[in-house]
A = this chain, B = another copy of it.
């Protein structure tokens, strides 16, 4: 492609994205294609000769677009959000154009130093204690695996890396914790048997006394409690584990405390939510995802550690072909995680923070929380619906409750969710809480306004009424 063609198609593609932002409500939120339908339209063999950008873009619209589920739609209430924003997209264009691979300082000093600075901004913005050092990971799954590996090494005096992994190390998380913890426990070699799912209270928060009991019991058996993962904002219901109480137990038993605030961390930008971090000084590591609820393109996950030395010692490698003259004076983020190669992800976070300012970001997050309380009130006031968990952030867990038994209600709510999503106007997902099927209304898409939340509620009520009549 000639550079003049890149320029021309670049403008067209930017215009396409701008149009997409403007017209996004015309699409059904959830893609309606059937399994295999897209693949069936793609040739079995790659083209021998290059095709025109014209025809590639036409196929993008014709074949790919119908198979896109629109995460940036204001009717997106599923899972958690994965927000982008105009400033973030602009940064992604520059990142792609520069195409730097930022594994060590020398391979782009600005990438390392901007990451260093912007993560310290983020640390201040959410009120993490001074001294925590940040690094961008691709996802919270990766960050949590890093924590589990560091905890393993610390608990074994850094001998696992060298000699292999002696079993007998245990990990603790609430019975509401994210699946990435189980996955990480498996990958890091602890074994699922060594993961203790600690019971939760009525708010689905970990009960510290139960954690204490489990640790004591394991120690009595000669096992070594290596890591506790506390969650600020669980995936099912955004429950908040009591950080300070858990942290004190961890210090007592010399156990690594990792905090999963992948979604909830963004709320810590608000002074009124800062209670979430009481006890933060007791943490060893902490992860939050700007790509969820901080308007920064996926992927961008911020991992903070109290002692970077433990992280680096877990991951460092020193092959000759990666040595540079600057190594003694700089950070080489390649040793702060699993991957060697690294994108320049700090740029988009910098663009976002500067473009919104902390007050602009706070206003958006505060509005999402306000909308979730409004939605919750509608649920509470309706005779046939009920909330199913507290709403500390911007997720409302609720269900239709027409008075039948739980099994029938589970089936009804499952049908209800399908019918609601079939509207194409909104997209919600579900979970189960204590065996009960629960709808999750996650409000956090950048462009979601009160009218979208109201429309969602109307669709939900209408769908329930229609189902009752059916």
| A121 in contact with B60 given A297-B99, A432-B320 (CB within 8 Å) | no
Which residues of A (284-306) have their CB < 8 Å from a CB of B? 291, 297-299
| A3 in contact with B31 given A93-B89, A298-B99, A340-B180 (CB within 8 Å) | no
| A299 in contact with B341 given A22-B3, A47-B357 (CB within 8 Å) | yes
Beta-carbon contacts of A350-381 to B below 8 Å, as 1s and 0s?
11011111111000000000000000000000
| A83 in contact with B69 given A6-B18, A189-B165 (CB within 8 Å) | no
A46 to B353, CA, bound (A): 7
A46, B191: Cβ atoms under 8 Å?
no
Which residues of A (1-52) have their CB < 8 Å from a CB of B? 1, 3-7, 9-11, 13-18, 20-22, 30-31, 33, 35-39, 42, 44-51
A108, B35: Cβ atoms under 8 Å?
no
User: What residues on B are CB-neighbors of A219 within 8 Å?
Assistant: none
A117 to B63, CA, bound (A): 13
A-B contacts, 9 of them at CB < 8 A, read A1-B87, A10-B90, A50-B360, A60-B94, A88-B96, A141-B339, A160-B189, A161-B191, A165-B165
Let me know if A187 is at the binding interface, CB within 8 A: yes
| A440 in contact with B321 given A50-B360, A138-B138, A297-B99 (CB within 8 Å) | yes
A325 to B422, CA, bound (A): 13
Let me know if A106 is at the binding interface, CB within 8 A: yes
Beta-carbon contacts of A55-66 to B below 8 Å, as 1s and 0s?
010001001111
B50, A354: Cβ atoms under 8 Å?
yes
User: What residues on B are CB-neighbors of A68 within 8 Å?
Assistant: 98, 100, 108, 110-111
CB within 8 A of A339: which of B4, B142, B165?
B142
Each complex incorporates copies of this chain amounting to 2
A166, B167: Cβ atoms under 8 Å?
yes
A42, B163: Cβ atoms under 8 Å?
no
A319, B179: Cβ atoms under 8 Å?
yes
Let me know if A82 is at the binding interface, CB within 8 A: yes
Let me know if A466 is at the binding interface, CB within 8 A: no
Let me know if A463 is at the binding interface, CB within 8 A: no
Enumerate the 8 nearest inter-chain pairs by beta-carbon distance, A residue then B residue, closest first. Answer: A67-B110, A164-B191, A189-B189, A17-B97, A10-B14, A165-B189, A92-B96, A84-B99
Minimal beta-carbon separation of A305 from chain B (angstroms): 17
A236 to B186, CA, bound (A): 33
A180 to B337, CA, bound (A): 12
Q: Which of A46, A85, A340 has the most CB of B within 10 A?
A: A46
User: What residues on B are CB-neighbors of A338 within 8 Å?
Assistant: 141-142, 145, 183, 187, 338
CB within 8 A of A51: which of B4, B339, B354, B432?
B354
Minimal beta-carbon separation of A303 from chain B (angstroms): 13
CB within 8 A of A30: which of B6, B106, B142?
B106
User: What residues on B are CB-neighbors of A340 within 8 Å?
Assistant: 139, 141, 179-180, 183
B357, A107: Cβ atoms under 8 Å?
no
A34 to B30, CA, bound (A): 49
| A138 in contact with B341 given A101-B71, A164-B193 (CB within 8 Å) | yes
A429, B164: Cβ atoms under 8 Å?
no
User: What residues on B are CB-neighbors of A38 within 8 Å?
Assistant: 109-110, 113-114
Let me know if A347 is at the binding interface, CB within 8 A: yes
Let me know if A221 is at the binding interface, CB within 8 A: no
Which residues of A (407-463) have their CB < 8 Å from a CB of B? 418, 429-432, 440
User: What residues on B are CB-neighbors of A89 within 8 Å?
Assistant: 6, 10, 93, 96-97, 99
A10, B93: Cβ atoms under 8 Å?
yes
Let me know if A124 is at the binding interface, CB within 8 A: yes
B31, A108: Cβ atoms under 8 Å?
yes
Let me know if A390 is at the binding interface, CB within 8 A: no
A31, B109: Cβ atoms under 8 Å?
yes
User: What residues on B are CB-neighbors of A418 within 8 Å?
Assistant: 325
User: What residues on B are CB-neighbors of A317 within 8 Å?
Assistant: 179-180, 182-183
User: What residues on B are CB-neighbors of A16 within 8 Å?
Assistant: 94, 97
Let me know if A174 is at the binding interface, CB within 8 A: no
Let me know if A385 is at the binding interface, CB within 8 A: no
